[in-house]
Amino acid sequence: MKITRISAYQIDLPLHEGSYKWADGKSVEVFDSTVVAVETDAGITGHGEVCPLGPAYLPAYANGARTGIKELAPKLLGLDPRDLGTINRVMDQAMRGHPYVKSPLDIACWDILGKATGLPAVTLLGGRCGEDLLLYRAISQDTPDAMAANVAGYRAEGYTKFQLKVGGDADTDIARIHAVSEKLLPGDVLIADANTGWLMHEAARVVEGVRDVDIYIEQPCPSYEECLAIRRRTPKPFILDEVIDGLPAVLRGASDLAMDVINLKISKVGGLTKARQIRDLCLSLGIAMTIEDTWGGDITTAAIAHLAHSTPADFLFSATDFNSYVTVSLAEGAPQRRQGRMSASTAPGLGVTPRLDVLGEPVFSVE
């Protein structure tokens, strides 16, 4: 089997809530997503998706994804997409860094591998663990009372894990955390995610100011060293996210006891192949994971579901269903949330069929 054509599509994904706000006043109203179609001479086509959280979150942006895919695509023509190790080595040799560019191509090849073998990606990634998996809901940054009200509303939809977007003024963030914590029920889990938004003195004030709250602290500061310093000042369980970009980062964090949980974003590390390597390392090291991505629609949600559902439940801290946040459906067959949970498809590959009327014409095709 050989790759014969690679096409890229651009799709806007508006949000049900109108906007998504996080640290330092950052916000997005419409997500710019890229869907990749990898065609083969066997008549099998695989699909992947990448959707950066705007240009100001990670070193990634939507136009950069499409430019990079166009650069890499010619290097993959003629290769067997089922040879995932070769595909990733060729991409890494042809382009240094830019893992988010490589991610949708790698995901599309996993989709092809599943279709070629007749197996769902969840089976190929390690096997289905349990009937379904627990999701968290991100609570967009707002006033303390508004965020508390949003938590109550999402609990009615079945969510029990809530990731508060903080990372602003320390006093306001302390008030946000207390307001939400007062609305929690037994069994609820609360995460304060600063998305690198605090300086060290602000993070120190917040962790002290919420010492009486049962809460996880996620990525308080931009650098690993700053986060480690805050980790050593609080007994709260600690999550690292933005600084976890590969195997060396996980090994360093494990050696320093820098975290209890990591946030594993598929496109940040280069796709399902490398995300699975990190997942399996965490299983060996005893580190729990939130498995997700930067953002996306139905195809990204499907990839998340397959990797998360193939992760033992005691190591899967959480996952998310990005397709429920947006108003546009990219594909049929994608996982759908039911009472705060979802499951991976049992169909071959990712189990999704893109909606051609939504994708429209490709931005480019390489053959």
Cβ contacts of residue 240 below 8 Å, gap of 6+? 218, 219, 224, 227, 253, 258, 259, 261, 262, 263
Q: 102, 161, 236, 265: which is the annotated catalytic residue?
A: 265
Using CA atoms, how far residue 145 sits from 23, 26, 127, 180, 350, in Å, is 18, 20, 42, 8, 39
Separation between Cα atoms, residue 10 and residue 156, nearest integer Å? 34
Which two three-digit tokens encode residue 109? 């090849």
268 counts as catalytic: no
Q: Which helix (H) or strand (E) holds 164?
A: strand 161-165
265 counts as catalytic: yes
Separation between Cα atoms, residue 109 and residue 81, nearest integer Å? 5
Cβ atoms within 10 Å, residue 252: 14
What's the gap between Cα 206 and its chain centre?
26
Q: What share of the chain is helix, strand, coil (3-state, %, to 5)?
A: 40, 25, 40
Q: 165, 236, 268, 274: which is the annotated catalytic residue?
A: 165
Separation between Cα atoms, residue 158 and residue 132, nearest integer Å? 14
Catalytic residue set: 165, 265
